[in-house]
Structure 1
Amino acid sequence: MLVFSPGLLFAAAVILASQVHLPLMFGDVPESVAAGPASAAPREAWDWPLSPRPAVVRSFDAPERPWLSGHRGVDLASAPAQELHSPAPGVVVFAGQVVDRPVVTVDHGNGLRSSFEPIETTLSSGDRVEAGQTIGRLWNGGTHCRAGPCVHWGVRDGDDYVNPLKFLADTRPSILLPWSE
């Protein structure tokens, strides 16, 4: 049986507090510490584009250089003709064919754009969409995945592809705050 002395627990708390750069105190937390840096402010989480929450069948794999191979999005398991929903509000900026597949791209503002394939839609460029609004259905003319029907979801931040899953929840590190009674 493990027994931890109060001194050992206090030492562990001091080490942990020093690792997250917070002062160890018993009282109010300074406003500057509680708020954290302005750049770390949480953004509103996006919604999953498929419901129920789909399995991720292939993860994001950023290439080392923009011209190298990688997987610039995530593949989400889906059902044939399943409805796809906008993960956040925005404006449709593209709805059409790319090579041999139908693609829909939604501009969410602040340089963020989501693209989905293969998706059939009745929307056109310029149409506003709300979070959760149906923007199309999985195309029956083929699939992006070998293992079965899936939707490829890519997100660009400016010119860079980023992992779409990071927009689904606040992924900032947890911060240990002092305990007060």
Structure 2
Amino acid sequence: MRNRPSPRRGWLHPPRRPAARAGLLALVLLLDPAAAPLASAEPGWAWPLAPRPAVVGDWAPPAERWGRGHRGVDLGAVAGAAVRAPEDGTVSFVGFVVDRPVLTIDHGGGLRSSFEPVESALVRGERVRRGQVVGVLRGRDHCGPGACLHWGVRRGDDYLNPLQFVGALEPSVLLPVPERLRTAAQPSSF
């Protein structure tokens, strides 16, 4: 006697084959590397400005913790722009650092986002949700004649590139080394 399809699934809904779907996903990721998440990324964060802003100041970590560098990214914006929480969290700081209004959100797992110059009516300990407006871009910034939002991310005491959390890091591309440089790099035979 032949097996008949169950009335629930019928011919239009064949039985599920998880192994086949996993294979299909692997094939999609193999054929389209852009579909695969970055190994260093923490997927799921949102941009703190909408629509997606231009990065007008790159992340440039210092060689030493105490050294000079740019421990975040600057996002192009206009004064008065609404700033949004990139991920769920709890407000851990609202106030001034030197002469700039700063807002910091603790996302858990040691991750904290900070934004400046951002004025906010939120108070320490208040919970925020991803995408929620948490403040307004207002005050003195370091972008010269144009306005910008400075966005920094830390894990513990280490500063991280915020762009990795929104999947905006470009992959590294290795270029071929010219022949003249390859031969010059060979050790001498003394």
TM-score (norm 2): 0.66
1:144 paired to 2:159: no
Measured at CA, do residues 68 and 43 of structure 1 come closer, stay the same or move farther in structure 2, by a change above 3 Å? Answer: closer
Shift of 1:144: 2.6
The residue aligned with 1:158 is: 156
Shift of 1:147: 3.5
Distance 2:126 2:48 in 1: 18
The residue aligned with 1:169 is: 167
Q: What aligned pairs does 1:5-16 form with structure 2 within 5 A after superposition?
A: none
Q: Note the alpha carbon deviations across 1:140-166, whole angstroms, 9 max, x for none.
A: x32231131101000001110010000
Measured at CA, do residues 122 and 70 of structure 1 come closer, stay the same or move farther in structure 2, by a change above 3 Å? Answer: same
Distance 1:149 1:65 in 2: 29
Provide the identity percentage. Answer: 52
Distance 1:109 1:71 in 2: 24
| Root-mean-square deviation (Å) | 2.3
Is this contact kept in 2: 1:86–1:129, CA < 8 A? Answer: yes
The residue aligned with 1:85 is: 84
The residue aligned with 1:55 is: 54
Higher RCO (CA 8 Å, separation ≥ 6 residues): 1
Gaps of 5+ in 2: 1-22, 30-38, 172-190
The residue aligned with 1:18 is: none
Shift of 1:119: 0.3
Measured at CA, do residues 82 and 169 of structure 1 come closer, stay the same or move farther in structure 2, by a change above 3 Å? Answer: same
Q: What aligned pairs does 1:61-100 form with structure 2 within 5 A after superposition?
A: 61-100=60-99
TM-score (norm 1): 0.70
Q: Larger Cα Rg: Structure 1 or Structure 2?
A: 2
Distance 1:42 1:148 in 2: 29
Aligned length: 137
Measured at CA, do residues 74 and 43 of structure 1 come closer, stay the same or move farther in structure 2, by a change above 3 Å? Answer: closer
